[in-house]
Amino acid sequence: MTWWVTLCALFGALTVLLGLGLPVAFAFLGVNLVGALLFLGGEPGLMQVVRNGVASVTNFSLTPIPFFVLMGEILFHTGVAMKAIDAFDNLIARVPGRLSVIAIVAGTVFSAISGSTIATTALLGGLLLPQMLRRGYDTKMAMGPIMAIGGVDMLIPPSAITVLLGSLAGISITGLLVAGVLPGILLSLLFVGYIVIRCWLNPGLAPVFEQERVVGWARWRPLLLYVTPLVAIFVVVIVAMSAGWATPTESAAIGALATAAVCVAYRSLSWKALLDALRGTAAISGMILFIVIGATTFSQILSFSGGTNGLVTLVQGSGLSPLGVLLVMMAILLVLGCFIDQVSTMLITLPFYMPLVQHYGFDPLWFGVMYLICMQLGLLTPPFGMLLFTMRSVAPPSITTRQIYAAVTPYVLFGLLMLAAVMAVPGLATWLPGWLLAK
């Protein structure tokens, strides 16, 4: 069987299983079992699947994931996140598109303490969207910022997807976590600038409403009490990793413990909230680990069947320049992001992409940040962007799906602009980890 026939068979079977609605982990497991029988030698191949599964889930590099997820789960279940939103509400006044700006600023802070993209979008959508609609905000100006900042959550650590990408691609997890900070913050600033300028030019998009002005210490006190500790946790996690004081796993554990301690200090961490947070963490982490089991064997089957070498050799002999190859790789990610989830995209593409990254000498951190930006855009692009579905679940029934698509379009364009900027100026991704990790 030629390599291209093998690829068509494997990906065809995978597409059918995913199309039937089978969970990603079980779809890959089914393909792996058949592939192991055909390409890894029958019963010994099945034993290899078992060994791969054990080795993959006991990989120490994956242990930060549950801690990062737990940080966000505790933050949301204890209600501390809502207190932080109130603090921004006091602070940000007389700004065009005020509530939309609050959504961006609050979402950026939550991104620095939460490993759950969907949770951030659901929280902001549930709290801020009704207020914006009630006050006459244009639907696009109300929904767009909430969805857009949920995608930025993937770039700003802690991010479970970043840890998973680093583990599967063999990229430094510490370096990749730090590398996403600057592009993520720049993207948030772009969003704020766009909102302010649009609402200044067209005040009807976000009508100004009368509010009781809070002045003096009362205006700044909630920020100091409810936001500063969250930012401090983010700084401690990043500094501990970048300075070499702690591994990513140890830093994640410190962050989770510090988040719990802060919530205890606020007297918000009840036993019920803690159990809910632990259940949410177990569900999300278990799903990710099941997917990792499938990823390890799938990559091995592709290699043994000749599919990986065949496709990589084809690309290398195509005559494309390194930039041309990179553009094609990013385009494939953007197209896949419209139809399948981010983890599935990673499992399908990384076995082919990483040999090409090594062959053309691309900086792994630079490539990893561009990869994450494409994954972030996949959360926002129709028809199957996960954050579009999240917004659909919290938006009133009167809002149509077409309105949701229209609301997110400008922010997708800004994401593409950031992708082009990182591609043209690699220092946007490599400068911060190079500076911090060299200390």
Domain boundaries, the chain: 3-437
Q: How confident is the model at residue 213 (pLDDT cuts 50, 70, 90)?
A: low
Burial annotation 1-28 (CB, 10 A radius, 16+ → b, else e)? eebeebbebbeeebeebbeeeeebbebb
The conformation of residue 203, written as its DSSP 8-state character, comes to: G
Q: How confident is the model at residue 192 (pLDDT cuts 50, 70, 90)?
A: very high
Query: Between these two residues, 53 and 212, which has the higher pLDDT value?
Result: 53
The pLDDT assigned to 295 comes to: 65
The pLDDT assigned to 332 comes to: 86
The pLDDT assigned to 409 comes to: 92
The pLDDT assigned to 372 comes to: 93
| Contact predicate 411/148, CB 8 Å | yes
Helix, strand, coil in percent for the chain, rounding step 5: 80, 0, 20
Q: What is the pLDDT of residues 282-319, one digit of tens each?
A: 877 777 777 677 666 776 777 666 666 676 777 777 77
pLDDT reading at 429 higher than 90:
yes
pLDDT reading at 141 higher than 90:
yes
The conformation of residue 327, written as its DSSP 8-state character, comes to: H
Burial class (CB in 10 A: 0-12, 13-18, 19+), 217: exposed
Closest CA to 53 of 286, 344, 302, 295: 295
Q: How confident is the model at residue 124 (pLDDT cuts 50, 70, 90)?
A: confident
Tokens of 224: 């100091």
| Contact predicate 100/206, CB 8 Å | yes
Mean pLDDT across 56-65: 70
The conformation of residue 158, written as its DSSP 8-state character, comes to: S
Percent share of the chain, pLDDT over 90: 18
Residue 338 CA to residue 331 CA, distance in Å, equals 11
The pLDDT assigned to 186 comes to: 93
Averaged confidence pLDDT in the chain: 82
| Contact predicate 141/97, CB 8 Å | yes
Tokens of 85: 């939103």
Q: How confident is the model at residue 242 (pLDDT cuts 50, 70, 90)?
A: confident
Query: Between these two residues, 108 and 18, which has the higher pLDDT value?
Result: 108
Query: Between these two residues, 291 and 74, which has the higher pLDDT value?
Result: 74
The conformation of residue 439, written as its DSSP 8-state character, comes to: -
Overall pTM > 0.85: no
